[in-house]
Amino acid sequence: MFFTVMNLIQYVEEQFTANAKVAEFPAFGAGDTITVYYQIREGEKVRTQFFKGVVLQRRGKGATETFTIRKMSGNIGVERIFMVNSPGIEKIEMNKKGSVRRARIFYQRDLTGKAARIKEKRM
């Protein structure tokens, strides 16, 4: 069977994402507040930690799809990028559905206090 390079990449990505548990996760996008439970490995110990924040963006497709979450820790903004198909992610909980007009809300980084609030969409 003859494969071109692009067909081969698509084939491998389809095989990889077929095993992933993406279908179990709720549909979320920019502006939503979610909690991601993921595994931390420290030596031989494995524990679950969570990261709760606002989704700034969701990008990519297939095996390379990622999403960025931002939370405030004290007065410091902390961002973390997660792979959607990562085996380390146990579950994703939807806390609030945000109403934003853009797919990537990087302007959130410059806002503080009341201005940084995102209007909530009713579910």
Q: Report the distance separating Cα 79 and Cα 68, nearest Å.
A: 7
Q: Is residue 26 part of a domain?
A: yes
The domain tally of the chain equals: 1
Q: Is residue 73 part of a domain?
A: yes
Give per-residue pLDDT as tens, 20-77: 665 688 999 999 999 999 999 999 999 999 999 999 999 998 778 999 999 999 889 9
Q: Report the distance separating Cα 7 and Cα 83, nearest Å.
A: 23
Structural domain boundaries enclosing 106: 5-110
